Amino acid sequence: MRFLGLAVVTSAAILLGACNKDKAESMDKGDTASAMGAPAEVPAMDKGEMAAMAPVTGMMHEVKMIGDGTGYRFDPADITVKQGDGIKFIMVNGGPHNVAFDPATLSAAAKTQLAANMPEVSGELSGKLLLSADESYTISFAGVPAGTYDYYCTPHLALNMKGKITVQ
């Protein structure tokens, strides 16, 4: 019985090795998508498109992140800043909270600079999660094109925790 089990395991290892060899050969031929069984992903931006982080040169605004008995919200939810200003998002309660922007709604220039100005991201245009009261996350709007930017808290989007930043 032990011999049969060993034979099955050995056969499986040989088959898996052969499959992986076929995949590796496909990748060598540039067929990464079919070798992996999924469509190839296009990177959001290549290294030539990376912008440098632009520091806050103007006013620092504060937005509180709140989750309590009356709901989940940013306070204020809608805010107007000037290019060069920064916003410090402060976790008050009801976390975890974060600040995120939908990349599909932004121009290439806005996406590139905003991404550069967001330290410690957890995903594309998604700031790190704040877990404790008084933790904060600051985003610079220096170099970000004028316009309106919708933002939200990823964990609480379904609870309508969102807002709008207007950059002048």
What pLDDT is attached to residue 49? 57
76 shares its domain with 30: no
158 shares its domain with 75: yes
Is residue 79 within a helix (H) or strand (E), and if so which, with residue range? strand 78-81
List pLDDT tens digits, range 31-58.
434 334 433 343 444 444 568 999 999 9
Query: Distance between CA atoms of 72 and 67, rounded to whole angstroms?
Result: 4
Query: Distance between CA atoms of 134 and 115, rounded to whole angstroms?
Result: 24
Range of the domain at 163: 49-167
30 shares its domain with 55: no
Q: Is residue 60 part of a domain?
A: yes
Q: Is residue 29 part of a domain?
A: yes
85 shares its domain with 8: no
53 shares its domain with 13: no
> Which residue type sits at 24?
A
What pLDDT is attached to residue 168? 97
Please tell me whether the overall predicted TM-score, pTM, comes out greater than 0.85 for this model.
Answer: no
Query: Distance between CA atoms of 116 and 50, rounded to whole angstroms?
Result: 7
